[in-house]
Amino acid sequence: MIANYHTHTFRCHHASGVERDYIEKAIAEGLTVMGFSDHVPMPFPDGHQSGFRIRIEELEDYVRTLQALREEYKDRIEILIGFEAEYYPAYFDAMLDLLAPYDYDYMILGQHFIDNEASSYAATPVTDEAYITRYVDQVLEGLSTGKYTYLAHPDVYNFTGDENVYYKHMKRLCEGCKSMNIPVEINLLGLMGKRHYPSDRFYRIAAEVGNDAVIGCDAHHVKDVADPEALRAGEEFAAKYGLRVLETVELKNPKK
Ligand SMILES: [Zn+2]
Ligand SMILES: [Zn+2]
Q: How far is the CA of 219 from the centre of ligand 1 (A)?
A: 8
Quick one: which ligand is closest to 151's CA?
Answer: 2
Give residue 225's pLDDT: 98
Quick one: which ligand is closest to 84's CA?
Answer: 2
Annotate 16-31 with DSSP letters as a single string: ---HHHHHHHHHHTT-
Would you say how long the chain is, in residues?
A: 256
Q: What is the 3-state secondary structure (H, E, C) of 94-134?
A: HHHHHHCCCCCCEEEECCCCCCCCCCCCCCCCECCHHHHHH
Q: How far is the CA of 12 from the centre of ligand 1 (A)?
A: 7
Q: Could you check whether the bond before residue 198 is cis, i.e. omega within 30 degrees of 0?
A: yes
Q: How far is the CA of 10 from the centre of ligand 1 (A)?
A: 10
Q: How far is the CA of 204 from the centre of ligand 2 (A)?
A: 23
Give residue 66's pLDDT: 98
Q: How far is the CA of 43 from the centre of ligand 1 (A)?
A: 18
Give residue 118's pLDDT: 83
Enumerate the β-bridge partners of residue 216.
Answer: 187
CA-wise closest residue to 181 among 135, 150, 159 = 150
Q: Rounded to whole angstroms, how far apart are CA atoms 214 and 183? A: 6
Q: Rounded to whole angstroms, how far apart are CA atoms 62 and 109? A: 19
Q: How far is the CA of 202 from the centre of ligand 2 (A)?
A: 19
Domains defined along the chain, listed by start: 3-245 (3.20.20.140)
Measured CA distances, 127 to 36, 120, 140 (Å): 34, 13, 20
Give residue 119's pLDDT: 83
Q: Rounded to whole angstroms, how far apart are CA atoms 190 and 22? A: 19
Measured CA distances, 165 to 127, 142, 159, 170, 184 (Å): 10, 22, 9, 9, 20
One pLDDT digit (tens) per residue for the chain, 256 residues? 999 999 999 999 999 999 999 999 999 999 999 999 999 999 988 778 888 999 999 999 999 999 999 999 999 999 999 999 999 999 999 999 999 999 999 999 999 999 998 888 999 999 999 999 999 999 999 999 999 999 999 999 999 999 999 999 999 999 999 999 999 999 999 999 999 999 999 999 999 999 999 999 999 999 999 999 999 999 999 999 999 999 999 999 999 8
Q: How far is the CA of 84 from the centre of ligand 2 (A)?
A: 6
Q: How far is the CA of 38 from the centre of ligand 2 (A)?
A: 7
Quick one: which ligand is closest to 190's CA?
Answer: 2
Give residue 120's pLDDT: 84
